[in-house]
Amino acid sequence: MKETLNNALLLVLVLGCFACSKPASETKIEYKTEGKDSTPDVSEMRNLGSALPGLDHGLCQSPINIQSSQTGQEGRHLISINYKDEINKIENLGHTVQLDFAEGSSITVDDTTFQFKQFHFHTPSEHEIDGITYPMEMHIVNIMPNDAKNETPQYLVIGILFKEGSTNKFVTDFLDAIPKQESETAELKIGTVRISDLIGTIPSHVIDNYYHYKGSLTTPPYTESVRWYISKHVYEASEEQITTINEIEGNNARHVQGLFGRPVLTN
Ligand SMILES: [Zn+2]
């Protein structure tokens, strides 16, 4: 009886091993990652039982898990920032806390310019680094002006991760100003909230030390026209500060999405 049981266990283990070592070629999917034909054959993937909800939106989705050992070397970019630390509104959007920039600040990568628009928070982080989720992520959203004649809005988003640690002065600057009611906006006196309180001058940390890839918005309509720059430097905020933001916006991180051959570059 005991021997039969052992044999049965052995069989389960052997079957288990075969299941694990199923060759990847059996589930090979043809797809293109460039141009407008990047829409995957979702029905084929569903038939294979491998489709995830995010595939309905394409194969260049965000956020992703950044595997630091598998990043490629970035070619040199000329990045210049014309930044005035002018933040004039704070909004409780229910699903996030958002602060808006006054017009007039821009970032130029090579010869493409984006206007600083807003920054907002996700609790926990959306991007992962080597499988690690951080308790908070801030997105600085920059948009290419409409006069660039692109049908699809083009974005450059800078992602900043936070771990639990010391009280963060920059977060303290606006925490008490967040409107208590959902959908409310409050005016901010320019100069009361300053990104320089977080990162000194933006170029020094974020632009000199980043992971870069092409992806999407992480909220509807999940548009795949985002140049992501995720700062390698992880900032600190206190547990209380992160909890306060989380209590307002809830858990608002999208699941990580597949890379599907996209390169993640680092400088
Ligand atoms: Zn975001």
Would residue 15 count as lying in a domain? no
Residue 147's domain spans which residues? Answer: 55-257
Q: Do residues 211 and 110 lie in contact, with contact meaning Cβ atoms separated by under 8 Å? A: no
Give me ligand 1 centre to Cα 121, in Å.
6
**pLDDT score, position 53:** 55
Residue 36 has pLDDT above 50, yes or no: no
Give me ligand 1 centre to Cα 139, in Å.
5
Give me ligand 1 centre to Cα 234, in Å.
17
Domain count, the chain: 1
Would residue 115 count as lying in a domain? yes
Confidence band for 19, pLDDT divided at 50, 70 and 90? very low
Name residue, tokens 């771990």: 163
Give me ligand 1 centre to Cα 167, in Å.
22
**pLDDT score, position 73:** 84
| Size of the chain, expressed as the number of residues it contains | 267
Give me ligand 1 centre to Cα 257, in Å.
14
> Could you tell me the CATH number of the domain that includes residue 114?
3.10.200.10
Would residue 8 count as lying in a domain? no
Q: What is the mean pLDDT of residues 65-84?
A: 86
Q: Do residues 149 and 127 lie in contact, with contact meaning Cβ atoms separated by under 8 Å? A: no
Residue 208 has pLDDT above 80, yes or no: no
**pLDDT score, position 77:** 76
Burial (CB < 10 A; 0-12, 13-18, 19+), residue 243, is: middle
Residue 222 has pLDDT above 60, yes or no: yes
Residue 20 has pLDDT above 50, yes or no: no
**pLDDT score, position 68:** 94
Would residue 17 count as lying in a domain? no
Would residue 13 count as lying in a domain? no
Would residue 62 count as lying in a domain? yes
Q: Which helix (H) or strand (E) holds 136?
A: strand 136-143
**pLDDT score, position 41:** 65
Amino acid at 64: I
Concatenated DSSP letters of the chain: -HHHHHHHHHHHHHHHHHHHT--GGGG------SSTT----HHHHHHTT---GGGGG-SS-S--EE-GGGPEEPPP--EEEE----EEEEEE-SS-EEEEEPTT-EEEETTEEEEEEEEEEESS-SSEETTEEPSEEEEEEEE--GGG--SS--EEEEEEEEEE-SPPHHHHHHHTTS-SSTTEEEE--TTSS-THHHHSSHIIIIITSEEEEEE--SSTT--S-EEEEEESSPEEE-HHHHHHHHHHH-S-PPPP---TT---EE-
